[in-house]
Amino acid sequence: MKSIIKFSINNKFALWIMTLIVLVAGLYSGTRMKMETLPDITIPIVSVSTVYTGASPEQVADELTKPIEQRTRNLTGVKSVSSTSYENASSVIIEYDFGVDMEKAQDEVKAALSDMTLPEGVKTPDVSRISLNAFPVISLSVSSSNDSLSELTQKVEQDLVPQLQGLDGVSGVQVSGQNVVEGELAFKADKLAQYGLTEDTVKQIIQGSAMKAPLGIFEFNDSEKSILVDGNIMSEDDLKNLKIPYTPAGGLQGGALSTVSLSELADISIVGKAESVSRTNGKESIGISVVKAADANTVDVVNKVKDEVKQLQKDHAGLEIVTTLDQGQPIEDSVHTMISKALFGGLIAVLIILIFLRNIRSTIIAVVSIPLSILIALLLLNQMDITLNVMTLGAMTVAIGRVIDDSIVVVENIYRRMGLAGEQLKGKALIVDATREMFIPIMSSTIVTIAVFLPMGLVSGMIGEIFKPFAYTMVFALLASLLVAITVVPMMAHLLFRNGIKGGKPHVEKPGRVAEWYKGVLRWALNHKAVTFGLAVLLLIGSLFLVPVIGVSFLPSDEQKSMIVTYNPAPGETLEQVQDMALKAEDELLKRKGIDIVQYSVGGGNPMNPAATKQALFNLNYDKDTKNFEQEKDDVITLLQSLGGKGEFKQQDFGGGGLGGSKITMEVYGPDMEAIQPVVTDLTAKLNANKDLKSVDTSLSKAYDQYRIVANQQKLSEYGLTAGQVAMALSPVQSSPVLTSIEKDGQKVDIRVKVEPKSYNSKADLENVTLTSPLGKQVALKDVVTIEEGTTPDTITRLNDRTYAEVSAEVVSAKVGDVSSDLQKQIDGMKLPDGVSIELGGVTQDINDSFTQLGLAMLAAIAIVYLVLVITFGGALTPLVILFSLPFTVIGALLGLLIAGETLSVTAMIGALMLIGIVVTNAIVLIDRVIHKQREGLSVREALLEAAGTRLRPILMTAIATVGAMLPLALGFESGGLISKGMAITVIGGLISSTLLTLLIVPIVYEVLNRKKKARTAEQ
C-alpha cells in the first residue's frame, strides 16, 4: 500500500494525465448513455392473441384458448399460463421465470402452435413478447383545416408515415382513423333471377376475367420471351362493362351465348370509410403512434420525431399535429431533476466539510473525490450498457454523500497530524504515513458497503431487475472513491500542503469543545452502562411499535398530469352506440378546466386489449399546474359514468410500466363461471363497503343475453335436416374476401362483395327464419327447434387450467399492508361453496415477495459485513462490537418516516440496506483508533476516550455530509420517481440516530466484551 501512495506523490504529472483521461472518458460516457425512466427490463411474458370473428366467449374458450393453454403450459421455464376468452378473440399470457431467454421462449411457443388445427375462419395466432418497449414512445394526432379526411389520409400515408419510419431508432409507426377506399359490389337479386344466374357463377367469371397470369419463359427461334396473360380489367368502367355470359330463356341462338353487363347485375360503388374513428379536441383526426426499437434511446427517438413533425408542418400549410403522448419529456425532466438534486446535494456536502475543516485547501482535496468517483462509475456503467435512468441517477445522488467519506477521513488525518506539535514526520513521509494509517479503516468500510450491495444482485423478480443498476452504480462509485483516497488525495495534499499549514502553528493535540463535551458524556455513559444501554434498547423497542402507524406499501407512484380512459361497451352494444357515447363524452370533457388535449379513438387496434374492436380509448392531457389531480381523475370517471352509457368508463394505469401504484387483486377460483358468480357479487359488495378502497372492478361484470337453440332431432329428421344445416343457415358471414382489384386515381382499390349483416328485431323474427329441406320444402325454425333464453359471460378467464374471476380495487390509504391484512381476515370469514377459493394478489403479492427477498438480502449483507470485519480485525469480538451499531438505525429511520408521512416501501427498505454500509463505517473508524491506542499501551477506558475525542470530527463530518447530500431528495421539491423521499428519509433518520447512539453504545459494548476477555485470559 505504501508503494501505491509513494508512486502517486512521486509521479504527480502522470497521475494528473490519468485523472484527466478518466474525466474526459467519464464525461463522454455520460453524454453517450441512453436516457430511460426505468432500467431496461425484459418482462418474462409471451402473449398469444388470436382473432375468431363472430365467436362467443364460450366458443372461443373451448375451441381456441384451452388447446393453446394445453400446448404451452409444459414448455421450459413456464411459471404460469393465464387466459381471457372474449367475444371474437382469445388472449393467452404465458409468464416465465426471470432469467429465461425470451427470444428462445417466443420461438418455442411459435413452434408449439405451428401444427395446431384452427377452427374455420380463425386467423393465425399472433405470438409476441411483452416489453416496455412495445408501448408507443410518442403519439401524435394529425388534423387539417384545409383537407378532407381522404386527402389527409393520403398526406399521412405518403409523406408523414414514410418520413417517421425512416428515422433512426423507430421500429414501427401505427396509424388509426385513416380513410380507407374500398369498392363494394352489391348484387341485384331480381336481375340475377331474370338472367338465370347465381352470385357464385358471377363471382367466378369476375375472378377469371380480371386477372394477370405470367406463364413463364418460352423459346422463339433463337431467343427467349416471357408470356403474360392480362384480363385487361384496370378501371371502374372496365369492371362495370365486363360482359357476363348467360343462357337465354329460349335457349342458345346461333350457337352463341348471350351476355349482359356486370353493371346490370350489380351496383358497383367506390366508398371511402374510416376503419376506426379518431378525434382530437372536437376535430376529425388521424392518430399516429411511434414505437421505438428495443436498443434505441427513448429521448432521442421522441426528439427526432418532434423535429420531423416541425418540418412537416412547415411543408404542409394547414396541417395541425398535436402530441397526445410523450414519454421522452418526463424522462428528460426526471433525469434533469436527479442531476440538479445530485449537484445541490454535493454542494451541501462541500459546505459541511468546509465548516468542519475551516480550510479551503483541504476541502478542495476532499471534494475532488466526488466528480472523479461519479465519472469513473459512469465510464464503467456505459461499458456494461446500463442506461442513465432514475435508478442509476438515484444511486449517484446517494453515492455523493458516501464517496466523499474516504477522502474526508484521509484529509482530516493528514491535516490533523500536520498541525501537531509532537509530530515526528514531515512533508512526504508524513502524508504517506497518515494515508497508510487510515487505509485499513477506509478499505474495510468501503468493502463493507460494497458487500451490502452484493446481495441485491441475488434479489430476483422485477425488484431485482430494477435495483441491479442501482447496486452496480454504488459499487463502482465506492471502489473509485477508495482508489481516489489513496492516490489523488495524498498527491494533492503534498501539492497544496508542501509548506505545511499556513497560519496554523503546531499545537499539542487536544480535542475541541464539542469533543471535550462528548468525552464527558461518554465517561458518564461508561460509568452507567446499564442505564445508557437500557434506554437505547427501550427506544429501539418503542420505535418498532411505529410500524403499524407508518404503514406498508410497495413502490411510490409517480404522478404525471395525464389520464388514459377506456369506455368498455356493454355486451350487445353496437359500434354506432359506442361512437355516439364517445362524442357525448368528448363534448363534456372539452368543457372541463385544465384539460389541454382530448384525443380519442373508437375501434381499430388497442395495445392493451386484443378484443377491443368496439372500445373507445381516450387520451387526456392536463395543464401542469392542475391541482388535486387524484380528485380530478375520480371526478372525470364519475362525470363520464353519469352520461347514461350502458357500458363502463375506466381509468387505465400504466405508470412506470405497471410499477408502483396500489392495486389489490383477488382471484376467485371455481369449477365454472356460474359457481364463481355469487361469490364475486358478495366479495364486490364487501369491497364497495370498505372506505379504504375505490374503483372496485370485476372481470365478471357483464354477461350477454343468450338464445340457446335446442334441436328437436325427431322433427329435423322428418324434414331431412340436421343441426349443422340450422347452424349454417343462421351463421353470419364473418368477412367478405377481396373479389378483385382495380386502379382509381393512381391507387389500388380492393373490390369486395357487399354482405348485409343478419339482424333480428325480436325472438319471433328468429323463430320465423325459414330453412330449405333437401326436397325444397320451406320449414320455419320454430317447427324444428326450441329456443331457450339465458346468459353467457362476456369474458372467460383462466389461470393454470382453473377458471377464475378477478376482483380488483385501488387502495386509497397509504397503508396498503394494513388494508390487505384486513381484507384477508374478511375473506377468511366468508363461507365459500365447495370447489371455490379466493387468493390475494396484485400489490399484496408484490409486497410479500419483495420484502421477503430484501429481508434476506439484508441478512446476507450483515453476514458478509461480519465476515469482512473478521478478516480485517482478525478476531470475532471486535466485529461483533461494530455490528452493535446496526439495530439503532431502526429508531431514526422509522421516526423519520412517521414525521415525513412516508410509508415503509421497497425504496425505504433499500435505504435501510444502504444504512448497514454507512453506519458500520463510523464504528470501524472509531474502533480502529481504539485498537491502535491499546497497542500503544493505553488501557481500554483511556483508549476509548482518546479515540472518541480524535475520531469525533471525521465521524460527524461523514455523517452530516451524507445527510446533507440526501437533503434535496428528502425534501423532494421535484419528483424523483422511484428513488423517492422514502429512501432519503430512511437514510437520514437512521444515520442520525445510529451516529448518536454508536458514539455511546459501541464503546460500552467494547469495554464490556474486553473486560470479559481480560478476565478469561487472567483465569487461564
**Residue 26, CB-side half-sphere exposure with 13 Å CA sphere:** 18
| Same domain? 963 vs 859 | yes
Contact 282, 208 (CB under 8 A): no
- Asked if the structure places residue 830 within a domain, the reply is no
- Asked if the structure places residue 8 within a domain, the reply is yes
- Asked if the structure places residue 259 within a domain, the reply is yes
pLDDT digits (tens, 9 = 90+) for 269-315: 887 766 677 787 877 788 888 888 767 778 889 999 999 988 888 88
% of the chain with per-residue pLDDT over 70: 87
pLDDT at 68 over 90: yes
Last residue of a domain, one of 264, 284, 303: 264
> DSSP letter at 720?
T
pLDDT at 109: 93
CATH number, domain with residue 775: 3.30.2090.10
pLDDT at 131 over 70: no
In this predicted model, which residue has the larger pLDDT, 488 or 276? 488
| Same domain? 990 vs 875 | yes
**Residue 103, CB-side half-sphere exposure with 13 Å CA sphere:** 1
**Mean pLDDT on 995-1004:** 85
Q: Average per-residue pLDDT in the chain?
A: 80
Q: What are phi and psi of 81, to 5 degrees?
A: -125, 115
Contact 331, 35 (CB under 8 A): yes
- Asked if the structure places residue 537 within a domain, the reply is yes
- Asked if the structure places residue 374 within a domain, the reply is yes
| Same domain? 54 vs 14 | no
- Asked if the structure places residue 452 within a domain, the reply is yes
| Same domain? 389 vs 535 | yes
What is d(CA 736, CA 203) in angstroms, rounded to the nearest whole number? 12
- When divided into structural domains, the chain yields a total of 4
Last residue of a domain, one of 209, 238, 264: 264
Burial 655-664 (b: 16+ CB within 10 A, else e): bbbebbbbbb
- Asked if the structure places residue 493 within a domain, the reply is no
pLDDT at 271: 75
Whole-angstrom CA distances from 80 to 44, 162, 290, 798 are 11, 40, 31, 11
Residue whose C-alpha cell is 431467343: 223
| Same domain? 891 vs 867 | yes
Q: Can you read off the three cell numbers belonging to residue 258?
A: 348471350
pLDDT digits (tens, 9 = 90+) for 723-749: 877 877 776 655 567 778 887 776 677
| Same domain? 785 vs 856 | no
| Same domain? 49 vs 27 | no
Contact 660, 839 (CB under 8 A): no
Residue whose C-alpha cell is 506523490: 9
Range 66-75, long-range pairs (CB < 8 A, 24+ positions): 66/798, 67/116, 68/92, 68/113, 68/116, 68/125, 69/798, 69/801, 71/112, 71/113, 71/116, 72/48, 72/109, 72/112, 72/113, 73/800, 73/801, 75/105, 75/108, 75/109, 75/112
pLDDT at 553: 66
pLDDT at 411 over 60: yes
> DSSP letter at 554?
S
pLDDT at 20 over 90: yes
| Same domain? 20 vs 53 | no
Q: Can you read off the three cell numbers belonging to residue 735?
A: 368477412
Range 761-767, long-range pairs (CB < 8 A, 24+ positions): 763/707, 763/787, 763/789, 766/707
| Same domain? 920 vs 989 | yes
Q: Which residues pair with 212 in a beta bridge?
A: 230
| Same domain? 986 vs 940 | yes
What is d(CA 634, CA 816) in angstroms, rounded to the nearest whole number? 19
Last residue of a domain, one of 232, 264, 296: 264
pLDDT digits (tens, 9 = 90+) for 778-806: 888 888 888 888 777 777 888 888 888 88
| Same domain? 65 vs 21 | no
Radius of gyration of the chain (CA): 38
Q: Is the dihedral of CA 342, 348, 351, 352 positive or negative?
A: negative
Q: Which domain holds residue 260?
A: 189-264
**Mean pLDDT on 978-983:** 66
CATH number, domain with residue 423: 1.20.1640.10
What is d(CA 321, CA 306) in angstroms, rounded to the nearest whole number? 10
Percentage helix, strand, coil for the chain under 3-state DSSP, each rounded to 5: 55, 20, 25
pTM score of the predicted model: 0.69
Confidence of residue 605 (pLDDT cuts 50, 70, 90): low
CATH number, domain with residue 94: 3.30.70.1430
- Asked if the structure places residue 165 within a domain, the reply is no
| Same domain? 772 vs 889 | no
In this predicted model, which residue has the larger pLDDT, 997 or 244? 244
CATH number, domain with residue 216: 3.30.2090
